[in-house]
Chains A and B, each alone.
Chain A
Amino acid sequence: KQEVTQIPAALSVPEGENLVLNCSFTDSAIYNLQWFRQDPGKGLTSLLLIQSSQREQTSGRLNASLDKSSGRSTLYIAASQPGDSATYLCAVNDYKLSFGAGTTVTVRA
C-alpha cells in the first residue's frame, strides 16, 4: 500500500522568503506525481504534474522536482506572497491517486 508523507505539517514564513515543501512516498513504481493547492473549505487546484520519466516541472514561481528512486518530491515556491497561504497536497499515482496529509503554509505580510 502506497504511503505518502508530507513534512512539515505546517509552515509560517515572512513574505518574500522561498518555500520548500517535501513529499515522500513508499512505493517508487509510480506513473506520475501531482502537487495541488487547497484553500480552506475549497476544492483542489492543480499546480504541477510530473511524469515518472521527468525530473522536474516549472510553472512561474513554482518548481517541483521528482526523485523516483528515493521516493521524494520537493515543491519550491520562490519569493512567497500572502496569497500563497494555503494547504499544499502531494498526490502519487501508481494505479490510483494517494494523497499526503498536506502542508499548511502561512505567508506573513
Chain B
Amino acid sequence: GAVVSQHPSWVICKSGTSVKIECRSLDFQATTMFWYRQFPKQSLMLMATSNEGSKATYEQGVEKDKFLINHASLTLSTLTVTSAHPEDSSFYICSASSGRAVWNEQFFGPGTRLTVL
C-alpha cells in the first residue's frame, strides 16, 4: 500500500516552454502533497506544500508564479514549471500524506528528471 506515482519519469524541453508534472496517490487519499527539488549531489529541498482544495504554501525563495501547483483532487497534484530555463533542470520528487498533521508519514514518488535545453 501507500504507492505514489509520477509522470513523466523524465522530460526534456526547450527553454521558454512550460512543463507539467503529475503526482498521483494510487491506493490512498492524499490530503496533503509535497513537492521537492533535488540538484545533483545535493539533498532534497521542499518547494511547496499543498492541501486538497487549497492554495499551495511555498517555501521561502520559491517563485509561486514560476512553479504552479494544483491539488484539485485527493489523488492528484500537478506541478507546472512555467517558462522553463536551464537552471530549472533538476530532479523533482513529490510525496503524499493521508492527513494534514505535520507528523503524518509522507510517501514518495519515483521522481521526474527535467532537463531544459
Contacts and interface: CB of A to CB of B under 8 A. Distances in A.
Given A32-B103, A93-B103, A96-B49, A43 B109 contact: yes
Interface stretch (A55-63, A75-83, A99-107): A99-107
B102 A89 contact: no
A42 B111 contact: yes
Interface string B13-54: 000000000000000000000100000001111100100000
Interface of A, secondary structure class, is strand
A99 B43 contact: yes
Contacts of B34: 97
15 contacts: A31-B102, A34-B105, A36-B108, A42-B111, A43-B108, A46-B107, A89-B44, A93-B103, A95-B102, A96-B46, A97-B34, A97-B106, A99-B43, A101-B42, A102-B43
Interface of A: 31-32, 34, 36, 41-44, 46, 49, 89, 91, 93-102
